[in-house]
């Protein structure tokens, strides 16, 4: 083998192994909770990061100075083309938990935006795509949130790009919306002020004579936002991640009262006697649907999809992501205790 042949084979081997440091990666949803951590993770790995942002002032406040900002909207063709120009990879973190029609809907942000982004990425010659989806995504899911997330995944699979899909369970971190909400409850600053709520599901025990139904908490395994970001970064650097779907969860399973109780007890100034009370998820669904019909959705801290999702378990095995990406998820209890003072 000549020296030139050896060099060429080495270069090809590096490419096949996913050695990607220094390449440009576009991030959508970059100023959001997950997006901010993804941006920092990619920069720490030596990538050049381009971010599509609507609010330049917010971006300057929450993103590192060395991010290349493209100001515009995901539905603006020129903005998306500018974002994708010169990018080898894309991380899409766009996601909403509640709809605010007519512009902010699950279908528009999870599906229509995906079509635009995929088309522009392909036109620009991008190769790799990492999609941040959700653990409940499936075609016949009971919520529009899960169904549209799955539809976005389906579009990606058919795009011709080399893709990786991440499906995290509940994502936690000090600056996340969920932790901020729990803090408001635990300190009595947010409704219902006198207790910390969660939604339960109804379970029936077969047999005769019939037994009263039980109101049961779902099981959750919250995943740290840093681990979601690390999984995104690792996906670009490992060929084994191409064409794979990775459930992401934390290493500990628990019910909602256990999770909420730990957050409450870890928070400075929180009332340790603040009760944690389960509310029937079906009741929450009915209330949210009535509020939506009456145009009062903003009066509630949840929409119709959230009670449904809270009634379903959100757990997964960590074996695949550990084997493929080398990710050992951070423990929930220890991690929350470390950052509780920053919530």
Q: Where are the domains of the chain?
A: 3-168, 177-217+255-310
For the segment 98-103, the average pLDDT, to the nearest whole number, is 88
For the segment 253-271, the average pLDDT, to the nearest whole number, is 97
pLDDT at site 220: 98
As given in the structure block, the two tokens for residue 127 are 């190769």
Pairing of β 162-168 and β 89-92 = unpaired
For the segment 6-24, the average pLDDT, to the nearest whole number, is 51
pLDDT at site 21: 62
For the segment 94-108, the average pLDDT, to the nearest whole number, is 92
Question: Following DSSP, what letter does each residue of 150-186 receive, concatenated?
Answer: HHHHHHHHTSSSEEEEEEESSEE-TTSHHHHHHHHHH
pLDDT at site 203: 84
As a whole number of angstroms, the distance between CA 254 and CA 260 comes to: 10
- The torsion region of residue 243 among left (phi > 0), alpha (psi -120 to 50) and beta comes to left
Chain mean pLDDT for the chain: 92
pLDDT at site 294: 79
For the segment 231-258, the average pLDDT, to the nearest whole number, is 98
pLDDT-derived band at 81 (thresholds 50, 70, 90) equals very high
Percent of the chain clearing pLDDT 70 (strictly above)? 94
pLDDT-derived band at 8 (thresholds 50, 70, 90) equals very low
For the segment 145-154, the average pLDDT, to the nearest whole number, is 98
pLDDT at site 13: 39
Residue 238 has pLDDT above 70, yes or no: yes
- What is the CATH architecture assignment of 3-168? 3-Layer(aba) Sandwich (3.40)
pLDDT-derived band at 303 (thresholds 50, 70, 90) equals confident
Residue 1 has pLDDT above 60, yes or no: no
pLDDT at site 6: 40
For the segment 162-182, the average pLDDT, to the nearest whole number, is 97
| Inter-residue contact 288 to 300 (CB < 8 Å) | yes
Count the Cβ atoms, other than its own, within 10 Å of residue 225: 23
């Amino acid at each position: 083998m000549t020296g030139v042949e050896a060099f060429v084979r080495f270069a090809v081997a590096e490419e096949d192994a996913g050695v990607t440091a220094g390449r440009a990666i576009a991030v959508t949803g970059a100023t959001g909770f997950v997006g901010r951590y993804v941006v920092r993770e990619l920069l720490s790995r030596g990538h050049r990061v381009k971010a599509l942002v609507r609010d330049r002032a917010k971006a300057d406040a929450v993103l590192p100075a060395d991010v290349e900002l493209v100001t515009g909207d995901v539905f603006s063709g020129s903005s998306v083309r500018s974002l994708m120009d010169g990018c080898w990879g894309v991380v899409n973190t766009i996601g909403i938990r509640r709809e605010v029609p007519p512009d902010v809907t699950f279908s528009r942000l999870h599906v229509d935006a995906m079509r635009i982004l995929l088309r522009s990425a392909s036109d620009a010659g991008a190769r790799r795509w990492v999609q941040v989806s959700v653990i409940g995504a499936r075609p016949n899911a009971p919520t529009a949130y899960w169904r549209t997330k799955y539809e976005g995944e389906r579009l990606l699979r058919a795009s011709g790009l080399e893709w990786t899909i991440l499906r995290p369970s509940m994502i936690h971190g000090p600056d996340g919306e969920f932790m901020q909400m729990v803090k408001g409850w635990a300190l009595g600053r947010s409704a219902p002020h006198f207790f910390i709520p969660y939604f339960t599901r109804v379970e029936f025990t077969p047999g005769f004579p019939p037994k009263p139904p039980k109101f049961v908490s779902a099981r959750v395994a919250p995943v740290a936002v840093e681990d979601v970001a690390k999984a995104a970064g690792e996906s670009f650097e490992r060929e084994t991640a191409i064409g794979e779907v990775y459930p992401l969860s934390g290493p500990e399973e628990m019910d909602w009262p256990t999770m909420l109780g730990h957050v409450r007890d870890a928070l400075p100034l929180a009332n340790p006697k603040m009760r944690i009370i389960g509310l029937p998820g079906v009741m929450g669904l009915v209330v949210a649907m009535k509020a939506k019909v009456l145009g009062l959705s903003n009066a509630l801290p949840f929409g119709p999809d959230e009670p449904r999702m809270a009634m379903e378990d959100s757990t997964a095995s960590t074996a695949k992501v550990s084997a493929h990406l080398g990710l050992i998820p951070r423990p929930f209890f220890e991690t929350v205790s470390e950052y509780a003072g920053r919530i």
